[in-house]
Homo-oligomer: A and B are copies of this chain.
Amino acid sequence: MKMKDTHTHRSGCPINLGLEVFGDKWSLLVVRDMMFAGKRHFREFLASDEGISSNILADRLAKLVEAGVLTRAGDPEHKLKAIYSLTEKGIELLPIIAEISRWSRKYEPVDPVLARTGEARDRMGPDANQQQMAALRRLHLGATDQAPV
């Protein structure tokens, strides 16, 4: 049995604290798959293009749940199915992901097909993020914290 010693941080710098949560090659890809591909189940994440292995995926899901970015719930219909949902904290990673997308589309050899999501967001203007986050809230949190338009 291992005791989790209460998370001692390398520093209190905001950049550093963010990197301690998602500063690796896989965590944000899981969040991306939830946001843009609608994935909710282990096997779906496992099938992503980048080819994450199952032990790494299990580790990342657990860490993201512990960090409060995701929640894990059992599907009431299928006792073995775990459903992962974004929390508000996770949904608010979208602006970061959107900026990474913008940067890569400018400077890296992105696949034109995969770039379309980001391009569409750019064309939508400044409140694209808020609209997309609102949609994610409806899907992952429940619909109750929206003001009527």
Contacts and interface: CB of A to CB of B under 8 A. Distances in A.
Q: How many copies does the complex hold?
A: 2
A126 B104 CA distance: 21
A115 interface: yes
Nearest to A107: B89
Interface in A3-19: 9-19
A15 B116 CA distance: 13
Given A28-B23, A95-B102, A103-B96, A10 B109 contact: no
A-B residue pairs, 5 tightest by C-beta? A12-B111, A14-B104, A17-B108, A18-B100, A11-B49
Interface of A: 9-21, 23-25, 28-29, 32, 49-51, 68, 89, 92-93, 95-97, 99-111, 114-115, 118, 126
